[in-house]
């Protein structure tokens, strides 16, 4: 790394460190004023955001506005309604034992935050956590992915127009930039990306005892129950899989379906695939490209490895190297010794696995680490409850895919190896906040009586108190 970049990072960190107390004490009005200005600016320049994402990996305008811009606007709208109430001190009822005192909780920004964002939703996953952190009273340094330079440029311009350098700064670059940032003693680190890199982030944070939020991933399963509308289910699953060409942390990773229903489901899925995209892929404007040649080659390898080990391609499997396109691919006869079932796919490949029973599906899911999401297609509440109770993951969507991610109030985050911490709505405000407890003694009703020396009389009084409070339980 060049010395001038290193100096710029150090200067920015020191500047924000000196400003964090002032930022923590900014008013709700101040924060909302900037957020509203950001929303207006974004809406005025949304065409530039669309063009940037199209340039970076051919993202269709509808997908950009639906999955990148709309979530940010929805989040700002929610903050406009709720931030004042979230920032208010929360009174806490004082127990009888502490009579004469008042208690409350203050919500204060954690301080200097580092946000490391991924490439797959490069606008939303940069901007959303930054605005949330700012709303909670934090300063932010942002490290976007080097794979999306056009999107990074427009984000940087938006940030520069709204925020001072003490509040928000962005640093572009490759791994060396991220490495240097992780050496600094941030108060909180928010990372979205792979599990392996999440481990590196957590290790770096531990050296400074920084708190972390890790939004990771995993193999998010789809389970399909008997006697449902396969036409409707296949359309929803296909859409969830192919938004952003499967480059989504909560994309359906594989489908578990009863063996007798497998062929019927595949027929419906292939029919909807043609309905969505037709047969021409190299000139298809509604289908995302894979972000880089390296990522496309990885996906092509997963397909070839699966086929060599006995999987069958029901549709797709084509790789157009010049365009970084992997056509939507359905695989059957997939086994766990195949690479495609040993890592998150993160692309437009859908393994479909026939099962004998609901119990077999649950056992299959539980052989993997906790996923970020699970999708249940069922009209049988008993079976839905069984899936919910006997599996663990970050979130569940029933009879649809992906939509819960767009819910501005529901918490979003993983469980176990799919992530630590949650954001969206109040959960995001809390993620970037320190809940500071405050207790004020107005008058003393004799608590000081129990200071040393501990006489026999005091022992008896405390013993009687303990008995009294135990009986309340």
Give the tens place of pLDDT for each residue, 130-148. Answer: 999 999 999 999 999 999 9
Q: Which position among 63, 68, 180, 215 bears the catalytic label?
A: 215
pLDDT at position 436 over 70 = yes
179-200 average pLDDT score: 96
Q: If you classify domain 221-413 with CATH, what class do you get? A: alpha beta
Which three-class secondary structure state does DSSP give residue 92?
A: strand
Q: Which position among 180, 249, 344, 431 bears the catalytic label?
A: 249
Which sequence spans correspond to the domains of the chain? 3-216+423-434, 221-413
Residue closest to 341 by CA, chosen among 363, 316, 319, 369:
369
pLDDT at position 118 over 70 = yes
Give, in order, the Cα–Cα distances in Å from 69 to each of 45, 75, 152, 276, 311: 11, 10, 14, 23, 38
pLDDT at position 97 over 80 = no
Residues 6+ apart with CB under 8 A from 400: 236, 240, 375
pLDDT at position 182 over 90 = yes
**Cα–Cα distance measured from residue 148 to residue 298, given in angstroms and rounded to the nearest whole number:** 19
Residue-wise burial string across 143-179, b where 16 or more C-beta atoms lie within 10 A, e elsewhere: bbbebbebbbbbbbebbeebbeebbbbbbbbeeebbe
Provide the β-strand partners of residue 377. 224
pLDDT at position 42 over 90 = yes
List pLDDT tens digits, range 363-378.
999 999 999 999 999 9
pLDDT of residue 449: 76
More confident residue, 472 or 368: 368
- Please tell me the chain's helix, strand, coil percentages from 3-state DSSP, rounded to the nearest 5: 50, 20, 30
Confidence of residue 95 (pLDDT cuts 50, 70, 90): confident
pLDDT cut 70: percent of the chain above it: 99
pLDDT at position 473 over 70 = no
pLDDT of residue 462: 87
pLDDT at position 119 over 90 = yes
List pLDDT tens digits, range 252-274.
999 999 999 999 999 999 999 99
Q: In 207-337, where does DSSP find H-type helix? A: 230-242, 262-277, 293-308
CA angle, 284 then 285 then 287, to 5°:
75
204-224 average pLDDT score: 96
CATH classification of 3-216+423-434, choosing from 3.40.50.880, 1.10.3720.10, 3.40.50.300, 3.40.605.10? 3.40.605.10
Confidence of residue 472 (pLDDT cuts 50, 70, 90): low
Residue 215 among the catalytic residues: yes
pLDDT at position 80 over 60 = yes
Average the pLDDT over each of 187-196, 300-309, 457-466 and give the range with the smallest value. Answer: 457-466
pLDDT at position 446 over 80 = no
**Cα–Cα distance measured from residue 309 to residue 307, given in angstroms and rounded to the nearest whole number:** 5
């Amino acid at each position: 790394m060049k010395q001038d970049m290193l100096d710029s990072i150090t200067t920015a960190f020191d500047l924000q460190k000196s400003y964090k107390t002032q930022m923590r004490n900014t008013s709700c009005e101040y924060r909302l004023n900037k957020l509203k200005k950001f929303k207006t600016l974004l809406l005025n320049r949304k065409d530039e955001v669309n063009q940037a994402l199209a340039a970076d990996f051919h993202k269709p305008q509808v997908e950009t506005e639906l999955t990148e811009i709309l979530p940010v606007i929805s989040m700002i709208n929610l903050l406009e309604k709720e931030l004042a109430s979230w920032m208010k001190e929360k009174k806490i009822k004082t127990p009888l034992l502490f009579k004469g005192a008042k208690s409350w909780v203050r919500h204060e920004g954690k301080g200097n935050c580092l946000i490391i964002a991924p490439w797959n939703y490069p606008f939303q996953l940069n901007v959303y956590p930054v605005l949330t952190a700012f709303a909670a009273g934090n300063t932010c340094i942002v490290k976007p992915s080097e794979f999306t330079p056009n999107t990074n440029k427009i984000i940087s311009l938006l940030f520069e127009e709204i925020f001072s350098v003490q509040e928000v700064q962005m640093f572009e670059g490759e791994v060396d930039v991220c490495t240097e940032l992780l050496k600094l003693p941030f108060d909180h680190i928010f990372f979205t990306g792979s599990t392996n890199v999440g481990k590196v982030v957590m290790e770096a944070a531990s050296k400074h005892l920084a708190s972390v939020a890790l939004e990771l991933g995993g193999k998010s399963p789809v389970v399909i129950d008997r006697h449902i509308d396969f036409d409707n289910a296949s359309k929803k699953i296909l859409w969830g899989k192919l938004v952003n060409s499967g480059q989504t942390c909560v994309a359906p990773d594989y489908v578990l379906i009863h063996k007798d229903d497998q062929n019927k489901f595949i027929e419906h899925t292939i029919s909807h695939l043609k309905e969505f995209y037709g047969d021409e892929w190299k000139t298809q404007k509604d289908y995302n490209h894979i972000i880089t040649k390296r990522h496309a080659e990885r996906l092509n390898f997963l397909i070839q490895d699966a086929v060599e080990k006995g999987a069958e391609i029901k549709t797709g499997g084509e790789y157009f190297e010049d365009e970084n396109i992997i056509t939507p691919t359905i695989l059957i006869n997939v086994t766990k010794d195949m690479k495609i079932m040993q890592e998150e796919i993160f692309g437009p490949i859908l393994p479909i696995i026939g099962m004998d029973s609901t119990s077999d599906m649950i056992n299959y899911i539980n052989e993997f680490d906790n996923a970020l999401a699970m999708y249940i297609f069922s009209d049988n509440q008993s079976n839905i409850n069984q899936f919910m109770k006997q599996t663990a993951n970050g979130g569940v969507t029933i009879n649809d895919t992906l939509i819960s991610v767009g819910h501005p109030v529901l918490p979003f985050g993983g469980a176990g190896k799919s992530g630590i911490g949650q954001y969206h709505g109040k959960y995001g405000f809390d993620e970037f906040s320190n809940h500071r407890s405050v207790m004020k003694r107005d008058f003393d009703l004799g608590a000081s009586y129990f200071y040393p020396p501990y006489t026999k009389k005091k022992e008896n009084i405390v013993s009687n108190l303990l008995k009294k409070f135990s009986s309340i339980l």
